Amino acid sequence: MNMYSEKTPGDALVLYGQTFASRLLLGTSRYPSPGVLQAAVKLAQPAMLTASLRRQNLQAGDAVPNTFWAMLAELNVPVLPNTAGCHSVQEVITTAHMAREVFGTPWLKLELIGDDYTLQPDTLNLVDAASRLIKDGFQVLPYCTEDLVLCQRLVDVGCQAIMPWAAPIGTGKGPLNPYALRTLRERLDVPMLVDAGLGLPSHACQVMEWGFDGVLLNTAVALAQDPVRMAGAFANAVQAGRAAFLSGVMPEHNSAQPSTPVLGTPFWHQV
């Protein structure tokens, strides 16, 4: 169903030395049903699916099978576990190790929340958490703000990619600070995925046009009236934005510039 299916040869997303065909990462929460999630994933063909860990329902015991786990296995898309809900470095470290054992992967979306109202990352402790996880062998994709110095420090401690937010998680507001995001893109030479706050395919296209390497979405797809179709729309938008970035955009002008040749204009006379 992808309307724009042309991909630039050799233009794969590379994270920690691993190549991914898609530049779209998709969250798995808040879909109206597991079937809708499954259909959205099959259409969008994301590079990775995010997942999380929560306390077992002890009353259920083994009576209720983990259907999500079975679905992940069936979809066969690489899983990116997150540390959502962690408020301290120790919580992050423990959750990361539990995730590595359960999901069998060293990949990790590092989330360390500093404020529950905005779900803003704890920028003062994020670098320490990232540093410790990298020393423990994790391939860390930190969810961070667009703060240039914070992102530089994350790269300094070994993050080979970073994931600045566009806006607070689940707001769908799109990039709130284009200047900072574009500055970040110009200053740091690591893969950057815009994570959180995108609401429209045009938001995704916009950040891809600015040179970001990919986007991570969840709510914008899951809460659309037709999540499956929206997943396809985002996949197309990411590809279009990437193609536009690689094409090189025209310089902007303040005055009009006729696109039709002026030479030979009929009825023209000098006044």
Partner 1 sequence: MTTPIKVLINGDTFELAASATLADAVALLQLKPPFAAAINLQFIPNTAYHHTLLHDADQIDLIAPVTGG
Q: Catalytic amino acids?
A: 109
Cβ nearer to partner 1, comparing 96 with 237: 96
Using alpha carbons, select from 15, 16, 39 the residue that is nearest to residue 26: 39
Q: How far is residue 256's CA from residue 119's CA, in Å, rounded to a whole number?
A: 44
* Structure-token pair, residue 255: 């005055």
Nearer to partner 1, 98 or 124 (CB): 98
Cβ closest to partner 1, residue 155 vs residue 215: 215
Which pairs from 173-177 meet CB under 8 Å and 24+ separation?
A: 173/197, 173/199, 174/198, 174/199, 174/200, 174/202, 174/203, 174/206, 175/203, 175/206, 175/207, 177/146
Q: How far is the CA of 108 from the CAs of 28, 61, 72, 103, in angstroms?
A: 15, 28, 16, 10
d(CA 146, CA 129): 18
- Minimum distance of partner 1 from residue 188's CB (angstroms): 24
Residues found near partner 1 in the complex (CB under 8 A): 27-31, 37, 50-56, 58, 61-62, 66, 68-69, 72, 81-82, 84, 90-91, 93-95, 97-99, 101-103, 169-170, 218-219
Q: Least distance in Å: CB of 266 to partner 1?
A: 60
Minimal distance, residue 256 CB to partner 1, in Å: 44
Which residues, in sequence order, are CB contacts of 109 under 8 Å at separation 6+? 50, 80, 81, 82, 83, 141, 142, 143, 163, 195, 216
DSSP β-bridge partners for residue 20: 13
Smallest separation, CB 23 to partner 1 (Å) = 18
Tokens 């724009």 sit on residue? 4
103 or 245, CB closer to partner 1? 103
Which lies closer to partner 1 via its Cβ, residue 43 or residue 216?
A: 216
Q: How far is the CB of 142 from partner 1 (least distance, A)?
A: 15
